[in-house]
Chain A
């Protein structure tokens, strides 16, 4: 039986920024608490992802049409279908599960941080103490045991919805929502975290931006993977060409020598 591809919808319109998901993520994954302090930038706390904090609620403030807005954006790995991080990992420590989860296997990670170079959403975090990189797992351990991801289960307003990816996209599109993630670009493919809104659809329009760009989700996200990959592919080709050239020259050189020898015999 084919495995169902799942997704998680983050509904910006109904999220109240209570951080229940952030706490549930910590609890389920057994992640240590952070030493936090007052964040002068706003209410986001801890201010960024860390090796021990795999998701945060970002509190985004601004003014649109003279009206202030306060938005809550759940930030974590988006679980890209093309998973450039996995393509960059030299030891295949990042597994891409058919359920949609992109998971780092700690026993394989060597701490090279190539995945960080490749991720266009600035997600994986390096811990120098363990020399490994960490990020959200989409709660693959729960999904494979018939449970919802911990963050989804904890959400009191159903702003997070877990379900088969295609059904979620169709449902929210049909209900008139704007969706980020159902097709992003060829670099990330589609994402298994889907951000949706009706309320904030025109956010940023005055500055010529899309609502998701105001949220920090790029329209055309790109990391540094292609340059490295191309270097390797062209390089292997060049090396093969050099070897072929050597063989061709050896054949030519030999023929020349024979020709010269028979010429000097004849002459």
Chain B
């Protein structure tokens, strides 16, 4: 059996898995909340999901002794209301996951290689060469695109969390602040969705990258040949560390 090289810790696997769950919940509920204002056919699809959430919720309300009418919500509105509650819980859940990860990573913080080795210019050239020229290049554990993606996930989520909180507790803020937060929230969410499409494509859509999918979701390791070929700098570092140990 080919030797496996460790790329991700148990904590990283756990974090990524839950980030996927919470991001899915956030995106889905976000789209349900704004369904009525989305262009066709997105409006019908996500609007249908609002009914799909609202109808059982109204039966449940009835079983609990409220009639949906007394509760004052039509099935669609109730669906959106349920989506809003899930959206808020998922936002808090996502922040909690981020916090757990950060606490777990703190001891390793000195090992973070944020700035690309070899400089920024080299990193840009490498990235272009890889995706356009299909040349083998000397990436570390993460190439520039991946580094930027992780950074924008952090910054993007922080912005979404902060603006979401302003919208949630809107009575405590000025109308201008609330409206600005709402605008930024919508822009940041859509930028995130667009970024996520690219991220998922690069991970799953390119067959050569699939060992990474297995690594991040299950084993945390990838075959030696793969790491040597795609992340040579990281491979050399890992080999050196193994030798030293």
Contacts and interface: CB of A to CB of B under 8 A. Distances in A.
Interface string A60-71: 000000000000
Interface string B69-96: 1001110110011001000000000000
A76 B155 CA distance: 42
Interface residues of B, number: 40
Contacts of A27: none
A238 B190 contact: yes
Contact of A238 (B38, B170, B180, B191): B191
B37 A90 contact: yes
A193 B187 CA distance: 35
Interface in A30-78: none
A241 B187 CA distance: 15
B206 A250 contact: yes
A236 B38 contact: yes
Given A242-B197, A246-B198, A250-B201, A232 B190 contact: yes
Given A228-B186, A231-B187, 15 more contacts: A89-B36, A91-B76, A91-B77, A110-B81, A113-B170, A224-B179, A228-B183, A232-B38, A234-B187, A235-B191, A235-B193, A238-B193, A238-B194, A242-B195, A250-B206
Nearest to A118: B179
Contacts of B187: 231, 234-235
Interface in A87-117: 87, 89-93, 106-110, 112-114, 116-117
Given A90-B33, A229-B37, A235-B189, A110 B73 contact: yes
Interface of B: 33-39, 42, 69, 72-74, 76-77, 80-81, 84, 131, 134, 170-171, 175, 178-180, 182-183, 186-187, 189-191, 193-195, 197-198, 201, 205-206
A235 B179 contact: no
A107 B69 contact: yes
A92 B37 CA distance: 9
A241 B190 contact: no
A228 B72 contact: no
A245 B217 CA distance: 25
Contacts of A92: 36
B194 to A, nearest CB: 4
B197 A239 contact: yes
B198 A245 contact: yes
Which among A109, A114, A231, A253 has the greatest number of chain B C-beta atoms within 10 A? A231
Name B's interface SS: helix
A110 B80 CA distance: 8
A110 B73 CA distance: 8
A223 B170 CA distance: 17
Given A245-B198, A260-B134, A107 B179 contact: no
A174 to B, nearest CB: 40
Contacts of A250: 201, 205-206
A249 interface: yes
Contact of B183 (A90, A107, A224): A224
Given A93-B77, A132-B72, A242 B183 contact: no
A116 B175 contact: yes
8 contacts: A93-B77, A117-B178, A233-B39, A238-B191, A239-B190, A242-B197, A242-B198, A250-B205
Nearest to A259: B134
B194 A242 contact: yes
Nearest to B201: A246
A227 interface: yes
A233 to B, nearest CB: 7
A236 B84 contact: no
A107 B72 contact: yes
A173 interface: no
Interface string A130-167: 10100000000000000000000000000000000000
